[in-house]
Amino acid sequence: MKIDKELLKGATETAVLAVLSAEPCHGYELIRKLRERSQGVLQLGEGTLYPLLYKLEAKGAIEGAWETSTGERRRRVYRVTARGRAHLDQRSRQWRYMARGIDLVLGVPAYA
């Protein structure tokens, strides 16, 4: 199912931070992990991911560094900073709160 862009806007940033907070990774890996962890719901395109990563880096939520693993060429690996973690915590709480509200409005059985 294709998700409306407006709905995805805020969620993508939170999802990227959540994946990176579990383990630092480079762009390609990040897209794969996002797809796996969301069971195919979040299929982020490369053209969306990189500008988002650069924005998060500018905000100080993540930091990128070139790293070389054995037998491979160097890659830019991103990890979450303390500020990013705080931002993620806040966003997660807001997201759960909002999701609960939407579920209640839509009459999802768990809350109804």
Judged by the rule CB under 8 A, the positions of this chain that interact with another protein are: 26-28, 45-48, 50-52, 54-55, 57-59, 73-76
| CB closer to another protein, 37 vs 64 | 64
Residues 77, 57: Cα–Cα separation, whole Å = 12
Structure tokens at 36: 């796996």
Q: Tell me how far, at minimum, the Cβ of 100 lies from another protein, in Å.
A: 31
CB closer to another protein, 57 vs 103: 57
Residue 50 vs 97, nearer CB to another protein: 50
Owner of token pair 């500008």: 51
